[in-house]
Chain A
Amino acid sequence: MSKMPSFQISRRFLRVWQRNYVVYQKTWKINFLTPLLEPLFYLLAFGYGMSALVGKVPFEGEELSYVIFITPSLLAIAMMYNAFFENTYASFVRMYYQKTFDAMLATPLSLHEVITGEIIWGATKSLIATAIMLGVVTAFGLVHYPQALFVLPLSFLAGIAFGSIGMFFTGVTPSIEAFNLPIFLFVTPMFLFSGTFFPVAGLPGWAQKLAMVFPLTHLVNATRHLCLGSMNADVFWGVLYLAVFSVVFFPLALVVMQRRLIR
């Protein structure tokens, strides 16, 4: 009988978001440190160490310095990592080890609200990290305003996309160790081959096609245009791709979590 066919989501999911926010606030100094230092390390290693080897990188008919080329990549990777890891490892710990979701389900919250709150929280972490990193790279004069400001809403959308797919894996993973599989097969290839450290055009033809399936490729591309100060169709396509990705994986995450937790 009653299999709860419809999605039950009200604004109450914000209560779940707030719970995570309270916990985040307790250690905000540590939480801020990573997005503050990470771009510095990367810029030092790749921007200054590698630049000498790489020289200029061609991008849409322009010649970019390597630092300018990878700055948007760092932002996009941070968006992906923050949301994906929040909604895999951290959500799994709350669900499986801490039984936080079970406790929430004895209140007027629905499971769909719990999961939505978690995904929106993952997107929020993506936004916070991006904002901090954007501050750092701005201090180095590596991005153009006002277009670069659009990176912030983009990071939230990307957070929903990567958080949803993370939550999807959380719904189907047999154990916390098994997250290694989607990370090895999905996250790491994206990290390396999405036009992050070298242009997608540098890949063989078949790999280029594959790279176009990766959401990170579209995110990096959109972020790069925005950071370079152009607001064009590529940005639009990137946003659209991430939105479609979210529209597919967000409900899928709800469905697998429902199957996992509601018995």
Chain B
Amino acid sequence: MNKVMLHVIETRNLRKAYGDFVAVDDVSFHLLPGECLGLLGPNGAGKTSTVRMIYGFSPMTDGELQVFGLDIRTDWRAIKARIGVCQQENNLDPDLTVIQNLQVFARYFDIPKAAAKAKAGELLHFIALQQRQKDTVTNLSGGMMRRLVLARALINDPELLILDEPTTGLDPQSRHQVWERLEELRANGLSILLTTHNMDEASHLCDRLIIMDHGKILVQGKPSWLVREYAGRDVVEVVNPSDELRSFVRTQPFMHDDLGRRIIIYGQEGEELFERIGRHFCKDDCIMRMATLEDVFLRLTGRELRE
């Protein structure tokens, strides 16, 4: 066991195969203490499969995986006791009330009754659900359920919080409420691993991102760095581009995507090309905007529809 924990999570060539199908393919990354790391990828990229191995739900097929410096294959129970998990589905216990959901869950961690009661009260306050503590969970709105799942994941004072698509399917108000809670936890120094396919969420919450697809890591880095590196600073989108423009961009060194009815051109700071494009090739169906994480994501993972 390490005296000083350098990495909360460390994986080396982590693999997950379901039969012949490889869902996670030689994935290596780490998570630093106090960091919020995002796994970003389209549906089926292997995000859930990856985090499930980390929280000891699903056995790894091959590679190395350490959490808190411990091996998941041997020390799974000790590791699980120190992690909080929000799974992708809202699997609150519908047979129990809001407060019972927290208290019964606390028992699974062997938290003594009095401590569990105090912690449950504190967490209900944190997620602003004190008024609903006697309600059955099926009466809660989607946003409330999600907040309760978050509170449940915090019942054991985890050192690492794992969130699998924490805001998928929520309306904007509920989503921002969850984000606020997560920002507060992050500010308090909790290490967080989250998966998402929401760009706002990734750039909003994460210190560092890993973009993955087809079970493989494509790139990793700080959100701003990824944008600069893979989409530049400014973007020009030209709708119904002329053949002239098409042949022009092909002769130029800058990155671009030709989507047929639309050309997207990515440029670095200080380039005058945009002005030239603007002047020569744009009538009124031309947009100039800042590059975003979504540009990076679509460039790296492609534009085809996923399951």
Q: Which residues of A contact B (CB under 8 A)?
A: 1-4, 12, 15, 18-19, 22-23, 26, 98-100, 102-110, 262-263
Docked Cα-Cα span, A99 to B89, in Å, equals: 8
Decide: B108 and A108 in contact? CB cutoff 8 A: yes
Q: Which residues of B contact A (CB under 8 A)?
A: 18, 55, 57-62, 73, 77, 80-81, 83, 85, 87, 89, 91-96, 100, 104-105, 107-110, 152-153, 156
A185, chain B: closest CB distance, angstroms: 30
A183, chain B: closest CB distance, angstroms: 24
Decide: B108 and A104 in contact? CB cutoff 8 A: yes
B55 surroundings in chain A (CB, below 8 A)? 106
B77 surroundings in chain A (CB, below 8 A)? 108, 110
Decide: B108 and A263 in contact? CB cutoff 8 A: no
Given A2-B59, A102-B91, A262-B59, verify A107-B104 contact (CB < 8 Å): no
B57 surroundings in chain A (CB, below 8 A)? 102, 105-106
Docked Cα-Cα span, A19 to B92, in Å, equals: 13
Decide: A23 and B96 in contact? CB cutoff 8 A: yes
B105 surroundings in chain A (CB, below 8 A)? 103, 107
Docked Cα-Cα span, A103 to B57, in Å, equals: 10
B112, chain A: closest CB distance, angstroms: 13
Docked Cα-Cα span, A2 to B62, in Å, equals: 9
Decide: A109 and B91 in contact? CB cutoff 8 A: no
A2 surroundings in chain B (CB, below 8 A)? 59-60, 73
A15 surroundings in chain B (CB, below 8 A)? 107-108, 110
Among all A-B residue pairs, the 10 with the closest Cβ atoms: A99-B91, A107-B108, A106-B85, A23-B95, A103-B91, A108-B81, A15-B107, A108-B80, A2-B73, A108-B77
Given A3-B59, A99-B91, verify A108-B100 contact (CB < 8 Å): no
Decide: A19 and B104 in contact? CB cutoff 8 A: yes
20 contacts between A and B (CB under 8 A): A1-B59, A1-B61, A4-B59, A12-B110, A15-B108, A98-B95, A100-B91, A100-B93, A102-B89, A103-B87, A103-B93, A104-B108, A106-B57, A106-B87, A107-B80, A107-B109, A107-B156, A108-B81, A108-B108, A110-B77
A102 surroundings in chain B (CB, below 8 A)? 57, 87, 89, 91
Docked Cα-Cα span, A102 to B86, in Å, equals: 11
A100 surroundings in chain B (CB, below 8 A)? 91, 93
A22 surroundings in chain B (CB, below 8 A)? 96, 100, 104
Docked Cα-Cα span, A106 to B153, in Å, equals: 9
Decide: A263 and B96 in contact? CB cutoff 8 A: no
Docked Cα-Cα span, A23 to B152, in Å, equals: 18
Docked Cα-Cα span, A2 to B94, in Å, equals: 34
Decide: B108 and A109 in contact? CB cutoff 8 A: yes
B108 surroundings in chain A (CB, below 8 A)? 12, 15, 104, 107-109
A263 surroundings in chain B (CB, below 8 A)? 18, 58
Closest A residue, CB atoms, query B95: A23
